[in-house]
A and B are shown apart, each in its own frame.
Chain A
Amino acid sequence: MKYLFYPGCSQEGTAREYRDSTLAVLQALGAELEELKDWTCCGASVASAASQLLGLVLPARNLALAEQQANGPDLLTSCSACYSNLRRTQTTLADHPKLHHTVNQALEVEQLCYRGVVRVRHLLDVLANDFGPQVLQTRVQNPLEGLRVAPYYGCQTVRPYSRFDNPHRPRSMLGILEALGVQVHRHLREAACCGASLLVTQPDLGLDMAAEVLAACQGADCIVTVCPMCHMNLDAYQDQISHRLGQRVQIPVLYLPQLIGLAFGLPEQTLGLSRHLTPVRLPAKIATTS
């Protein structure tokens, strides 16, 4: 299986371990990945608040690059905000031909043109549907039996432009987690919001939102996410949240490919578990060779 890979900005910085573990797991599964050349920021939630056109042009630039670089393979992204922006742009431009034309007028200064043929895929979609639990299971060397894992999808992974799962009650992680041998901790905040950039701009509200997710995951040994923003919000603020709640909250937050990597027996160094702010201490028998 071949994919063009669009890592997104945070995976060059705070979420480098997400990129490393994604590449390691996909390589173990035999996928071929080629990084999108010269990619730029999708605009996050900021560009579209500044201007509607800019909020479409920034993702479209990357879609056009993908169509130019290779004809055929899907564009794979593991960041839910990037995924949502790329899909929003595709959906909007498909519905509004005039806007599509204006976007291409802007892209002319970069000698690019977006045609609308590339398919955009989220890492979770690829793992759940291109490979699937059965294929994943054949690669498991270190079943994570007894580990209680709380899945956390967040918002933009599953809504509103996503097409691979239920936007209210997603379940695409379930099969994957079961294939790894873990015990799934279902909860009511699986597709709730982590607080997104509110943890920076409106901390009182943002921290409350992240706290609600962490509270729903109490009882699990760890949380798994598929989005760098969700990861940051759930992992990095546990001290502040503990202070607010008046009770100690300490629950490791892993990226899904890190957990899959553990089950595949990939070395912990490759998976970058030591880069998280909430220390990842898993039951002794889960820990693999490092």
Chain B
Amino acid sequence: MSIETEMLNLTHIDRSMLAEVSPSHWEKMLSCIQCGTCTASCPAAHMMDIPPRRMWRMVQLGLVEKVLRSKSIWLCSACYSCHVRCPRGIPLTETMNRLKQLALQRGLVSSGTSQAFYRSFATLIRRYGRMREMELMARYVLSNPLAGVRFAPLGWKMLWRGKLQVQLPRLAGQDRLGRLFDRVAELEQQTPDSPNR
């Protein structure tokens, strides 16, 4: 891994981003002592372009856009190991979720596969209220044919074992949680600050 060097003006650190990333915990985020327990606990750290310890330092320094564009945030499986071990008690996994929200909102997602999966999932919950696994995988595979090749053998095996329910997608008249989703969007518009702060 190449180490990027860059001059930072430490007298002009953009703290506004810190408040946005960590609305209710930004003071705690500042208390990070860079001990590295998060990176040592992370099962994905070895694959990350920005490992957790460095990521939290970058957040402290206001280098949020780089963090949002990183692959790292899409490699977090939300196992909460860093979260429960952080000696400063910073809710790291929830903060990672917040980074995912910001990256999705700002269109800075580095991983097309993650974005496709998240989109398909949200569409289905809105439409049916419950997840339909087969339709989820079908939608995901359509948006990402390479994954289709990989999942085809597994899909057949699961059908064979009766694990997958063959349900035809219902396209018309299905918007089970539509009103609730719309209401959530409306409330977020009304009070862009309060839900996250």
Stretch at the interface among A53-61, A116-124, A256-264: A53-61
B84 touching A201, Cβ below 8 Å? no
Q: Which of B44, B163, B164, B184 has the most CB of A within 10 A?
A: B184
User: Are A40 and B134 neighbours in the complex by a CB distance under 8 Å?
Assistant: no
Which residues in window 237-290 of A have CB below 8 A to B?
Answer: 237, 239, 274-277
Q: Which of B170-189 contact A (CB under 8 A)?
A: 176-177, 179-181, 183-185, 187-188
**B125 near A: Cβ within 8 Å?**
yes
Q: Say yes or no: B122 contacts A50, CB within 8 Å.
A: yes
Q: A102: CB under 8 A from chain B? A: yes
Whether A201 and B74, one on each chain, are in contact in the complex, defined by CB atoms closer than 8 angstroms, is yes
B112-133, CB < 8 A from A: 113-114, 117-118, 121-122, 125, 129-133
Chain B neighbourhood of A43, CB < 8 A: 125
B185: chain A residues at CB < 8 Å are 51
Secondary structure of the A side of the interface?
helix
Contact call B161/A106, Cβ cutoff below 8 A: no
Give Cα A61–Cα B179 distance, bound, in whole angstroms.
13
Query: How many A-B contacts are there with CB distance less than 8 Å?
Result: 168
Contacting residues of chain A (159-175) with chain B, CB-CB under 8 angstroms: 159-160, 167-168
**Smallest Cβ-Cβ distance to A192: which chain B residue:** B43
Residues of A within 8 A of B5 (CB): none
Chain A residue with the shortest CB-CB distance to B112: A201
| Chain B residue contacts of A102, Cβ below 8 A | 187, 191, 194-195
- Any chain A CB within 8 A of the CB of B97? yes
B124 to chain A, nearest CB (A): 8
* 0 or 1 for each of B33-47: is its CB under 8 Å from A? (1 = yes): 000000000011001
How far apart sit A107 and B187, CA to CA, in the bound complex (Å)? Answer: 11
Chain B residues touching A, range: 35 or more
Cross-chain contact B195 with A41 (CB below 8 angstroms) = no
Report the minimal beta-carbon distance from B86 to chain A, rounded to whole angstroms: 10
What's the least CB distance linking A139 to chain B, in Å?
28
The minimal Cβ–Cβ distance linking A171 to chain B, given in whole angstroms, is 16
Which bracket fits the contact residues of A? 35 or more
A contacts, CB < 8 Å to B: 9-10, 12-14, 16, 39-41, 43-55, 57-58, 61, 96, 98-99, 102, 105-110, 155-156, 159-160, 167-168, 192-193, 195-198, 200-206, 209, 212, 236-237, 239, 274-277
A-B contacts, 10 listed (Cβ < 8 Å)? A14-B133, A40-B130, A46-B125, A47-B125, A55-B97, A197-B117, A200-B140, A205-B44, A206-B77, A239-B153
Interface residues of B (CB under 8 A from A): 24, 43-44, 47, 74-75, 77-81, 83-85, 93, 97-98, 100-101, 104, 111, 113-114, 117-118, 121-122, 125, 129-134, 140, 147, 150, 153-154, 157-158, 161-165, 176-177, 179-181, 183-185, 187-188, 191, 194-196
A-B CB proximity, top 3 nearest: A193-B79, A9-B131, A40-B129
Q: Name 8 extra pairs, CB < 8 A, besides A13-B132, A39-B130, A155-B77.
A: A13-B131, A48-B101, A51-B188, A58-B125, A96-B24, A159-B80, A200-B140, A202-B74
